[in-house]
Structure 1
Amino acid sequence: MIDLRRLRVLRALAEHGTVTETAAALHLTSSAVSQQLRQLSRELGVELLRPDGRRVRLTPAAHILLRHAETLHAQWEEARAELAADAGRLTGTFRLCGVSSAVAGLVAPAVTRLRRAHPGLGTEIREEESGDCFRLLLAEETDVAVVLPGAGVPPVTDPRFEQRPLLDDRQDLLVPEGHRLARAGAADGGVPLAGAAAEPWIVKRRHNDTFTLLAAVCAAAGFTPRVAHEAKEWFAVSALVAEGLGVCLVPRMVPLPAAHAVVRVPVTGEPVPVRRIVAGLRRGTAGHPAVAAGLAALGEAAEAF
C-alpha cells in the first residue's frame, strides 16, 4: 500500500530540490520530510534518494514512481469528487487564492454568488502571487487559484494541474491629470505604448507578477521601462502617479480612488497590453461539486467585464 501523503512529499522534493525547501513548502519539519520519504522507500522496497553533497538526488526508481504519481493523484481526486457529488448538499469549506486584483475583481463577487446559492458551503480566500498559488494547490491548501500566467507559473502541459481561461483583462496607461499623454489620448482616442518610452515608470520589480507582464509588453513595443519608483498595491501606485512621479499600466478591472487626479489612457496599436487571468486547479478535482460551483461563479464574475 502507498500512502499518498508520502507520495506528495516526494513530488514536492522533486520540485523544490532540497529537504529544507520541501519542508517549508509543506509546513513540515525537515526531519518529518526525511521520515516520510524513508517510510515510502520501505513500503515500496526500493531506494528513492541518494546523498549528493549537502543535497539529495532522486534515484531512477523515484523518477519511475513520479511518472505514475500524477495519474494516482488525479484518480484519487476524481474519487473524492464522486463521493462529494453523491453526498448531495454542498458543505465544508471551499478555498480560493489569487493575485490581488483578481481577488478584488473576480474572487470576491464569485464568493458572494456562492454563499447565496450554497449557504451551507464555507469559503476561505487568500491573496498570493501566482507562483505561490500553485504551491498552495500542490500542498492541498487551496482548491482553485486565480492567477496570471507567467515565468513563475507551471506550463499548461503540466500534468498536475488544469488551467482554465477566465478573462483577458486589457490594461490602460495611467498618467497624471494634465499630462501630455492624457491630452494626446483625449485627442486621438488613445496613445501607442511606445509614446511612454521616455517616462519614469512605477512598478515593483521583485515578487510581482505585474512587472513580468510590463517588461514583456514594453519589450514588444521596442523599449525597456525605466523604473523610477517601486510600489505594488494599486492604491499606492495611483497615488504616486497622481503626484507626477511616473506612469504605469493599470488593468481595467482595478478600481482607482476618485480622489486621485489620474487619467486612464487607452493604449492603441500593437502590442495591446492584456493580462490573461486563468483558474488553476489540481487535475481530477473539476468534478467536485464545490469546485464546479466555484468555477461557475468565477465565470459569471468574469462576464461582468
Structure 2
Amino acid sequence: MKAMVIARAGGPEVIEQVERPEPAPGPGQVLVAVAAAGVNFMDIGVRQDERFWSEFAYPKPLGVEGAGRVLAVGAGVTEWSPGQRVAWAYAPGSYAEQVVVPAGALVAVPDGVDDRTAAALMMQGLTASHFATDFYPVQRGDVALVHAAAGGLGLLLTQIIKLRGGTVIGRVSSADKVAVAKEAGADHVIVDTQGRFAEEAVRLSGGEGVHVVYDGSGPRTFQGSLDALRVSGTFCWYGPVLGAPDAIEIMRLPKSIKLGYAVFAHHVRTPDLLRTRAARLFDWVLSGQLRVRIGGEYPLADAARAHADMESRVTTGKLLLIP
C-alpha cells in the first residue's frame, strides 16, 4: 500500500511516498479504500513543525480527511459493512491508498454526492458550518467579513452565511480571485495583501463596522480585523498554522467586542453531532444550495506539489489528492 509520510520537519520536499503493509482494522475500527483525500493547512502545520502530532514518531503520516469505500471492519463494529461509501474529517494518515478510521469518525455519503465532493466538503464544510451556525449564528441582516474568501473554507463559509441571510464582505489576496469569491455569493470583495482592509470594510458595512469577522490569515490581519468590527461585534479567530498575534491585554480590547478561538472539533464532538452536521452539508449540496469548488486534483505521489501550490496562495477552492 502506498502512503505519503515525512521523515523530518521541513518544506514540501520532505514529503515522500513509501510502501507499507496493508493495514488491518482493530476493535472499533474500519479499513477504508481512499478514493480522494483532502489537503488542508493543518497538514502543512504537521509537516513544518515537529510540535504538531508529537505523539507520532517519524516518519509521520500526513492527511486527515477523505472519502472512499469500506473494505473491512474490526471487532465490535456493527454500523458499517464492506462496500459502503463513507467520508471522514479526522483520521491521521489519510494521504494513502488505505486508512484505518475509528467507526465513530465516519459518516455515510449519500447517492448523488460523488467521492471528490464528499472529501472536499468534510473538514472545511464542518468548520464553516461551526463558524456560521454555532460559534456566531449569523442572523438575517448581519454583515460578515470573510478572509481568504476564495479559498476552500472561505467559499463554503460565504455560501452558508448567505443561506442564513447575511451580507458577505470577502477579502482576497489578488484581483484574479475576485470573480471566484463573487460567484460564491460575496456581496463585496476587497483585494488586499498588506492588512489594510479595515477602513473599506467599515465603509461597506454602512460606517458602523461588521457584525462578525472570520480571520484565519495569521497575525498580519489581526489588528485590521479588530478595527473592522462594530460595537459588540464578534471576532472568530482560527488557523494556528500561520501563527498567533502578540499577547492580548483584555482591558485594551476595543468596542466591547467578543473574541474567541473557534475549533471545529467542538461542533462535532460526538458521532451523532458529526453525522447530523455532515448530513446537513450533504443536503445543501443535493439541493443545490451549496457548491463545492475543487481547485486542484493531484495524484497521491504529487502531495508535495499540492502543498507548495497551497502555500503559494495562488490556488482557489479545495485541493485533493487522488490515490
TM-score (norm 2): 0.29
Structure showing greater relative contact order (alpha-carbon pairs closer than 8 Å, 6 or more residues apart): 1
For the pair shown, which has the larger CA radius of gyration, 1 or 2? 1
Say which structure is richer in strand. Answer: 2
TM-score (norm 1): 0.30
